[in-house]
Amino acid sequence: MIRMALATIVVATTLNSISVCKAGDVAFDKAVGGSKAHELAQWGRRYEHGEGVERDLDKAIRLYCKAAAQGSAEAQYHLGWMYALGRVGARDDALAAAWFYRAAKRKDPHARRMLERLGYQGKPKQQAVCRLTDGGQADRHGRVITAMQIGSDDLPIRYAHPARRHIASMVRQLAPEYQLNPNLVLAVVEAESNFDSQAQSNKNAQGLMQLIPATAQRFGVNDVWDPEQNLRGGMAYLRWLMSHFEGDLELVLAAYNAGEGAVQRHGGIPPYSETQRYVKRIIERLHPGDG
């Protein structure tokens, strides 16, 4: 009888834990699905401090990240504070400063003071990214990015032809020089030229990363048909775009496809069906199944 009673208690406790977990997931899904920056930031604070919900720093970061992408100085400041305090792994003053800088640009006085305390003047070199507790990242929609930023080599190359393996090997060797993840570069190469080093579009974009003559000249590419030179030129452009758009991957990809001028004119991804499909395709390639 005692054993049966204990078993009943264990089962009841387990079921209760599952129901609480599911309720928590539902609450988070509803929160991160919101569109108002202030509400997203408020939910971020609740998950950061465990106010009415189970404390979960990754969920807090994802909510803050989505709010920050919409221009919430509050969320940008709180992200900076989390990294400055070392709540997400080791203390990271550089990443904290990147977020404080964004908030300070939106006239947040607390962020300005934190930049001064950290000894930063001018724009930090570090990109403002949303690093999670396991070293992964969240994107501007609060979604978890799995294969792209964490540096894994598990992004499959379709049709494992020897020529593709050779190009992939070059990408993995060169990408760290440009502080780019190889998986991102491989996804761009696949979308641009399908690994054809002799590809040429009707707009005169050429080679593996489809460089137009002006871009090739801008980044010092003398021979666009040389695979390594083309890769270096494309990676240099991606790195420049990463800096220009402060690590916002969707804007970087849109600019690579349509030009940074088009992204700036439209204040985001241009309303071009080709560009929108391009961005969606690469994002899905990098983390498939994340709707």
Quickly tell me which residue has 């758009």 as its tokens: 245
Residue 30, exposed/middle/buried by CB under 10 A (0-12, 13-18, 19+)?
A: exposed
Catalytic residue flag (residue 274): no
The Cα–Cα gap between 283 and 245 comes to: 17
Q: Which helix (H) or strand (E) holds 31?
A: helix 2-32
Distant-in-sequence contacts of 109-116, Cβ < 8 A, 24+ apart: 110/77, 111/73, 111/76, 111/77, 111/80, 114/77, 114/80, 114/81, 114/84
Catalytic choice (48, 74, 190, 192): 192
Distances (CA, A) of 275 to 57, 240, 289: 34, 19, 21
Q: Which helix (H) or strand (E) holds 137?
A: strand 137-138
Residues of the chain by 3-state class (helix, strand, coil), percent to 5:
60, 5, 35
Q: Could you give the residue numbers annotated as active site? A: 192
